[in-house]
Structure 1
Amino acid sequence: MDYFQTIQQAIQYMEEHLLEEISYTDVADHVYLSAFHFQRIFSLITDVTPGEYIRNRRLSMAGQEITLSDVKVIDLAYKYGYDSPESFSKAFRRFHGITPSKAKKADAPLNSFNRLVIRISTEGGTIMQYRIVEKEAFQLVAKVEQFETEAVDENGKEVNKIAGFWEDSRESGVFTELMQHAETDDFYGVCAPVSKDSLYFDYGIGMVYDGSEVPEGYQVWDVTPTMWAVFSCIGDTPGCIADTWERIFKEFLPGSDYDMLDDTDFELYPADGPDNLFCEIWIPVAKKN
């Protein structure tokens, strides 16, 4: 799969349907990806979420229109997909920094969010190390929760709730419970879409299952046999995970002989490893046709 071309096709589709009732799940369907996989690829390549892109483009267009015509705020609200003038005015002010009524005045300062165009640029020849591993099926015993594929704050900015899940699990004794049912000392952060069109994904904190009785509130996570591309996250903080994911989509996948499969991927936190290794990212891959 050409991820850059896929995202450009997604942007084209969004632009053609900005004035219609559309969500990022509709866009994901258009480019034949699960909502979870599409949201992650789009965000890593463009630095904005699909939902944020749609909102910002609509508010940018609304700002242009309000300064060039006598259109009523209520008409703009419904035109650009808002349920009420109040919700539109709130979003408008958050984006532009002024209310719609003030924007109607001459020389009002407004913000612009232009259409994205994806271009591939060649930069310094950096090396991204990886290894390809063929692994048989295995099972994890895991504490699993569902998270929104696009979780945003009141300002429409993406928020990451996974770190909080890890912290809550540590404080509530999840790690200790998992170790009672594990074959190894390694921890996993495992992730998969709930279904193709779901707005949620499953994320589990787990360990390799030893076959004992699964404790209440936990479950067995089956990881299917496949080929994996494995990347080391080097650093002292979780930020190195996001940096590695960005490089996977911007550097590794476009230039490699592999496509990422829309299935379970995971972070592996080995009990024994180099001091500078935060974790490993394992992504399921297949040879390109």
Structure 2
Amino acid sequence: MEWITAIKKAIKYMEDELLTVKGPEEVADHVHISPMYLQRGFQIMTGFTIGEYIRNRRLYLAAMELVNTGNKIVDVALKYGYETPESFTKAFTRFHNATPTEVRKKMRAVKTFLPLRVSIFIQGGDNMNYTVEKMAGFKVIGFSREFSFDMAYKDIPKYWDEIFKKYEANLFAGNAPANEIEQAVYDNRIGEFGVCIDDIGKEGKFRYMIAGRYTGGHVPEGMEIYELPEAEWAKFKCVGPMPESLQTVNTQIWKEWLPGNGEYELAGYYNIEWYSASGSTKDPDYQSAIWIPVKRK
């Protein structure tokens, strides 16, 4: 499906089913896009996760109902998806900076959150530095963890720090591998790839691997292998210090390249971040890339 059409359709579905929609998986299933792709693109384009959008819209409508009707707070809480008045009051107060009772009795100002309208200004999408390459399938090996769609941007960098301290700091210092995990890290150049995989089937979650290309041999406990199938990859080059350069290109992909591209659309349920082994990630000419599987429209 064309990207802007998919985003508009997702917003319409959330508005039509606002009181019952459960989250990104349900919305993604409706528009036939991977939840991981939809969540990432939606957040970059709108500034909100899908969960935040649904929650904010419900809290706005709940406030309007409190102001305009005599319905009990407990009934309003249940209507808008909260199991207890306490959980509703906590979320409501955090959003509106006033309790439900204060909004009703004192007619305090309600924080407005209206349905989104998608309007894209496409600038430079076709001029991005990218190639489309068909690649045979290959295996990666590395460390894997599940992340929530809502917290991934904050939690994944912490995961990289954790893996580096545990398994790469000794190698980075120029020392020989001290155990079988460090040997696997060294042999397979783990850290070359960050792989996002939307295949675990858990609500609100996806899998992320810190990985390298598997060269064969023993797979130590705590590591795993994932096989990427043959695919056409759109490879977007990033030049500059991390993470700013990667984030800038990522934003351009979702806000400019996908909406303005008439030849390719998303495919698969995975994507790759590639990191060069040369230079420091803080160098102004450090090279990295984003790989996204695509298919011709």
Same fold judged by TM-score > 0.5? yes
3-state SS of paired residue (1:180):
helix
Match of 1:187 among 192, 195, 198: 192
- Alignment partner, residue 220 of structure 1: 225
Q: Which whole-Å deviations, capped at 9, do the CAs of 1:235-265 have from their partners, x for residues lacking one?
A: 3231332322221112112222111213221
Alignment partners' CA distance in 1, 2:124 and 2:237 = 20
Task: State which drifts further: 166-175 or 118-127.
Answer: 118-127
More helix by share: 2
How far has the Cα of 1:161 moved from its partner? 0.8
Equivalent positions of 1:1-16 (< 5 A) are: 1-16=1-16
Change (3 A) 1:235 1:26: same
How far has the Cα of 1:85 moved from its partner? 0.6
- Alignment partner, residue 211 of structure 2: 206
3-state SS of paired residue (1:104):
helix
3-state SS of paired residue (1:119):
coil
- Alignment partner, residue 169 of structure 1: 163
Alignment partners' CA distance in 2, 1:123 and 1:134 = 27
How far has the Cα of 1:195 moved from its partner? 4.3
How far has the Cα of 1:53 moved from its partner? 0.5
Equivalent positions of 1:124-139 (< 5 A) are: 127-139=127-139
- Alignment partner, residue 234 of structure 1: 239
Give the aligned residue type for 1:40.
Answer: R
How far has the Cα of 1:104 moved from its partner? 1.1
In 2, are the aligned partners of 1:231 and 1:282 still within 8 Å (CA)? yes
Alignment partners' CA distance in 1, 2:125 and 2:43 = 24
Give the aligned residue type for 1:263.
Answer: Y
- Alignment partner, residue 283 of structure 1: 292
3-state SS of paired residue (1:143):
strand
TM-score, scaled relative to structure 2: 0.87
- Alignment partner, residue 100 of structure 2: 100
How far has the Cα of 1:197 moved from its partner? 6.4
- Listed as ranges, the gaps of 5+ residues in structure 1 are 152-157
In 1, are the aligned partners of 2:123 and 2:256 still within 8 Å (CA)? no
Give the aligned residue type for 2:100.
Answer: P
Task: State which drifts further: 139-148 or 237-246.
Answer: 237-246
Alignment partners' CA distance in 1, 2:295 and 2:126 = 24
In 1, are the aligned partners of 2:23 and 2:204 still within 8 Å (CA)? no
- Alignment partner, residue 253 of structure 1: 258
How far has the Cα of 1:211 moved from its partner? 0.8
Change (3 A) 1:216 1:77: same
How far has the Cα of 1:106 moved from its partner? 3.9
In 2, are the aligned partners of 1:232 and 1:277 still within 8 Å (CA)? no
3-state SS of paired residue (1:71):
coil
TM-score, scaled relative to structure 1: 0.89
Give the aligned residue type for 1:164.
Answer: K
3-state SS of paired residue (2:187):
coil
How far has the Cα of 1:36 moved from its partner? 1.9
- Listed as ranges, the gaps of 5+ residues in structure 2 are 172-181
- Alignment partner, residue 150 of structure 1: 150
Give the aligned residue type for 1:87.
Answer: S
Change (3 A) 1:30 1:238: same
In 1, are the aligned partners of 2:45 and 2:255 still within 8 Å (CA)? yes
Change (3 A) 1:170 1:90: same
**Any runs of at least 4 consecutive aligned residues in structure 1 with deviations exceeding 6 A, and if so which?**
none
Q: Which whole-Å deviations, capped at 9, do the CAs of 1:101-128 have from their partners, x for residues lacking one?
A: 1111344122010100112334578832
Same amino acid, percent of matched pairs? 35
2:69 is aligned with 1:80: no
- Alignment partner, residue 121 of structure 1: 121
2:47 is aligned with 1:47: yes
Alignment partners' CA distance in 2, 1:112 and 1:277 = 43
- Alignment partner, residue 154 of structure 1: none
3-state SS of paired residue (2:63):
helix
3-state SS of paired residue (2:218):
coil
Q: Which whole-Å deviations, capped at 9, do the CAs of 1:165-214 have from their partners, x for residues lacking one?
A: 100000101574243332x6871111110246653211111112221211
Task: State which drifts further: 220-229 or 269-278.
Answer: 269-278
